[in-house]
Amino acid sequence: MVVEYYGAQVGLPVMSERLILSFSPGQLPLKQRWRNNGLSADFMGDYVTAFFPRDDGEPSTARRQAEIKGAVTYIANELLENAMKYHDESSTALIELTLEMGEDKLIFRLRHAVTIARLAVLREFIARLTASDADTLYMEQLEENAMSAQSSGLGLLTMINDYNADIAWQFESVAEMNWCVGTQVCMPI
Amino acid sequence: MNQIEGEGYKASIDEAQQILRIEGTLRLNGLGEYVPISAMLSRLLLLGATPVLDLTSLGFLNSSGIAVLSKFVIEARTLNLQTLRILGAESVPWQGKSLRNLQRLMPALTLELI
């Protein structure tokens, strides 16, 4: 098995709180499944609020809870949208999104099967990200989007720029012509 | 059309006031599904010299929606509009983070987070 790593892989203690959503790619048309991204992302956002309780006597706790809930919902939704759009339709491997909660960070891990064509696009994106800073790339991407019918990579760039997240990838060849991509999004809290 | 409604969201134009209000949760699939919203945004820019985009009740916007908003701002910039007001809410966390980037696309844009 070949594994390629891009970016810093981060781990949390085994006992850390975690939530795992796992689902089959299935046969339903994308359009019909699309709203499930929002339902799952809302659920993840709501779920984490238990770990960041509000104290009615301390307004900053309510703000922090709302910030974290908003960030989790946004990032989870973007990752799930990417999984829906880019998973390899010929694979029956499950799509899995894990959220791990640490003292000072949240880690999202998305894993799904990808085609070799998608890997090439991702490699190019990662190379651009490495060669430039995310902020410049983000503004360039916004300008480029205005001229095209695509908005590729913008979700990942907003996570980095607007949510201070670090992103790392893991490409795994599970069999010949059969690849899985792991996307790790680490957000400080 | 002055109003469109979809699952979880609503967009409506007040022509006299030159205000477009977008409310709810927007996470449509790609720029293609955003076409009706983009069309309304483009129309707002043709209503007069002082357009206002009110997002105070827009609780959620995905990155495709952010791309649509940036296109709109670039369109306003291309039209040489002297002012463009975008209203947001301090209490909606994504707005403070992501709307500020729009200002960098068009310095004449005023972002008011209420």
Supply the DSSP string of A24-68, one letter for each residue.
---SS-HHHHHHHHHHHHHHHHHHHGGGS--BTTBHHHHHHHHHH
CB B111 within 8 A of CB B86: yes
A184 touches chain B (CB under 8 A): no
* Mean pLDDT to the nearest integer, A148-158: 82
pTM over the 0.90 mark: yes
Chain B residue with Cα closest to A85: B29
pLDDT of B67 higher than 90:
yes
* Residue A25 pLDDT: 84
Q: How does residue A123 score in pLDDT terms, banded at 50, 70 and 90?
A: very high
At the second CATH level, the architecture of B3-113 is 2-Layer Sandwich (3.30)
Please indicate if any CB of chain B lies within 8 Å of the CB of A66.
yes
pLDDT at residue A7, as a whole number: 94
The gap from C-alpha B111 to its chain's centroid, in whole angstroms, comes to 11
Angle among Cα B106, B111, B113 to the nearest 5 degrees reads 160
Task: Supply the pLDDT for residue A151.
Answer: 60
Task: Provide φ and ψ at A100, rounded to 5°.
Answer: -115, 135
CB A133 within 8 A of CB A52: no
Please give the structure tokens belonging to residue A168.
């790392």
Residues 6 or more apart whose Cβ sits within 8 Å of residue B63: A78, A81, A151, A154, A155, A158
Q: Is B97 on the interface with A (CB under 8 A)?
A: yes
Torsion angles phi and psi, residue A162, rounded to 5: -95, -25
Q: How far apart are CA A70 and CA B68, in angstroms?
A: 20
Mutate to test the interface with B, among A49, A63, A145 (most CBs of B within 10 A): A145
> Computed from CA positions of residues A102, A104, A106, A107, in that sequence, does the dihedral angle turn out positive or negative?
negative
Strand order, beta sheet including A178-188:
A2-6, A166-175, A178-188, A105-114, A95-101, A17-23
Contact call for A142 and B31, based on CB within 8 A: no
Helix (H, G, I), strand (E, B) or coil at A184: strand
Whether the CB-CB separation of A163 and A75 falls below 8 Å is answered with yes
Compute the mean pLDDT over every residue in chain A, rounded to the nearest whole number: 92
| A185 in Cβ contact with A18 (< 8 Å) | no
Name which of A31-35, B5-9, B31-35, B79-83 the model is least confident about: A31-35
Backbone φ and ψ for B88, nearest 5 degrees, come out as -130, 180
Tell me which chain A residue has its CA closest to the CA of residue B72.
Answer: A146
Q: Could you say which residues from 2 to 41 on chain B have a Cβ atom under 8 Å away from some Cβ of chain A?
A: 7-8, 25, 27, 29-32
Q: Which of A8-17, A24-33, A81-90, A133-142 has the lowest mean pLDDT?
A: A24-33
Q: Is the confidence at residue B96, as pLDDT, over 80? A: yes
Q: Chain A partners of B67 at a C-beta cutoff of 8 Å? A: 142, 145, 151, 154
pLDDT above 90: residue A147: no
Give the mean pLDDT of A12-40. Answer: 90
pLDDT, average across residues A63-68 = 95
In angstroms, the CA B92 to CA B96 distance is 7
CB contact burial B70-87 (16+ within 10 A = b; e otherwise):
bbbbbbbbeeebeebebb
Instruction: Report the pLDDT averaged over residues A87-112.
Output: 95
Is the CB of B77 inside 8 Å of chain A's CB atoms? no
Residue A54 pLDDT greater than 90, yes or no: yes
Identify which has the larger pLDDT, A123 or A1: A123
**Mind telling me how many Å the CA of B13 is from chain A's nearest CA?**
23
The pLDDT of residue A95: 96
| Domains recognised in chain A with CATH numbers | 2-7+16-188 (3.30.565.10)
Question: What's the ipTM?
Answer: 0.95
